[in-house]
Amino acid sequence: MAFAIGGPFHLMYPARVERNIHAFRAVMREAGIAGVVYYGKKANKSPCVTRACANAGAGVDVSSTGELTAALAHGIRGADLMVTGPAKSDELLWLALRHGALIAMDSVQELDRVTALAAATGPARALLRVLPTGSTSRFGMTADELAVAVALIDREGGPVGLAGFSFHLSGYDPVARAEQACELIDRCIEARALGHDASTISIGGGFAVDYLPERAWREFTDGVDGEWFHSGKRFDSFYPYHHPAPGPAMLSTILEHGDLAARLRGNGIRLAIEPGRALLDRAGSTVFRVQGVKTRSAHGEPYRLLTVDGTSLSLSEQWFDSEYLPDPVLWPRRSGDPTPTCVGAATCLESDMLSWRRIPLPRAATTGDLLVYPNTAGYQMDSNESAFHELPIPPKVVIDDAEGDRLRWRLDA
């Protein structure tokens, strides 16, 4: 593949996305609740992921006309779309209404605009996005704004139907999500007393991914200092690369807390989730070729400084002023001496490094070797992609196992 493509590329394995969706759904089934999975599309643009969602019966959560039309084009039906995001454009709202998507309203003003548009397009299905208690988020509505919004929605056959409530929290705390979900159930019960349907709550995304074993993560966080990085570089924070109960296990934890599952069942409420990163866990990796090698030293210890044929725009964590920590695999596998190695990009920016950290690769890398960064499908590979320096944007290669044991590859559509 590397020979055929002749530059950096991403690998995608959509069968894994389907398995991840089934794993979330299995948790819902075991908890005896009605539920639906919407893939948070911003985490990876690949059509093969959307197709996997269509195959596995998941919906897609979109926030732009580009994402909405791409989701439709790759097999998602309008009724299986969720539209989120702040102050959505009229064009996005109109398309969402035309296709019967579920719309998460972010403000009273937006509800007014949807009500006006829906008079011409036909009825809207609305979730009201809640600003979680104690949160300083710029998204969602306060309790007062929610009261105004609920009162604005006409119960009897008006253009907007109140399908329920939603939130999306940053961080990865299952307890905060379970408690917020309970508040949303109460809101549904109150809205029903006023004559609304209100039978869906969405608890958003933010299901953690477990990238590294606990020991590796503990050793890193206990020991990390600037001396570990090229040029004394320091980072303030890192993604929590180890999580004891990631993805579907985190959903189990949420449903068990305060017996949320029983409250959902008892009140006939459907649970929507919007995982992005977690549906992409182990569904992709990113391949660079070593283009140049230098030797540098820090405190008398030599280390390798590589230049690869791509940029950190294809490994996005640097965008958050942080670093992607799972070690890349050096290919081909050959014996040699462990060699601390940093990885720079093929651009003229001092700051464009894929790995500032001196990674203990199993041998000294040489020109022509491949470096494979694992598990990059979630947010790493294409969120920031750009033809900076007029370098080509790395293509995606899709691995297909439809023929049983025989793996096939093709370029992504």
Ligand X SMILES: *Cc1c(COP(=O)(O)O)cnc(C)c1O
Active site residues: 348
β-partners of residue 399 are 409
d(CA 145, CA 152): 11
Nearer to ligand X by Cβ, of 280 and 359: the residue is: 280
By the 8 A CB rule, do 96 and 74 touch?
Answer: no
Nearer to ligand X by Cβ, of 274 and 382: the residue is: 274
Nearer to ligand X by Cβ, of 278 and 290: the residue is: 278
Beta-carbon contacts of residue 173 (< 8 Å; ≥ 6 apart): none
d(CA 207, CA 278): 6
Three-class secondary structure of residue 189 per DSSP: helix
Query: Sign of torsion, CA 374 380 385 391?
Result: negative
No. of helices (H) and no. of strands (E), the chain? 11, 17
Per CB under 6 A, residues contacting ligand X are: 40, 42-43, 61, 84, 168, 204-207, 274-278
Q: Which of 3, 2, 10 is nearest to 313 (CA)?
A: 10
Nearer to ligand X by Cβ, of 132 and 206: the residue is: 206
By the 8 A CB rule, do 338 and 253 touch?
Answer: no
d(CA 23, CA 279): 9
End-to-end alpha carbon distance in the chain? 16
Peptide bond into 332 cis (omega under 30): yes
Q: Which residue has the tokens 């208690």?
A: 133
The nearest distance, CB 277 to ligand X, in angstroms, is 4
Q: What angle do CA 379, 376, 298 make, to 5 degrees?
A: 105
Beta 59-62 vs 81-83: how paired, if at all?
parallel
The nearest distance, CB 35 to ligand X, in angstroms, is 15
Nearer to ligand X by Cβ, of 187 and 277: the residue is: 277
Three-class secondary structure of residue 291 per DSSP: strand
Cβ neighbours of 346 (radius 10 Å): 18
CA atoms within 13 A on the CB side of 120: 8
Cβ neighbours of 112 (radius 10 Å): 14
The nearest distance, CB 209 to ligand X, in angstroms, is 9
Nearer to ligand X by Cβ, of 273 and 359: the residue is: 273
d(CA 293, CA 342): 10
For 14-107, where are the alpha helices, taking DSSP H only? 14-30, 47-56, 65-73, 90-98
Q: How many residues does the chain have?
A: 413
The nearest distance, CB 116 to ligand X, in angstroms, is 24
The nearest distance, CB 156 to ligand X, in angstroms, is 30
The nearest distance, CB 283 to ligand X, in angstroms, is 13
Nearer to ligand X by Cβ, of 43 and 254: the residue is: 43
The nearest distance, CB 248 to ligand X, in angstroms, is 13
Nearer to ligand X by Cβ, of 250 and 308: the residue is: 250
The nearest distance, CB 144 to ligand X, in angstroms, is 22
Q: Which of 155, 162, 173 is nearest to 201 (CA)?
A: 162
Three-class secondary structure of residue 413 per DSSP: coil
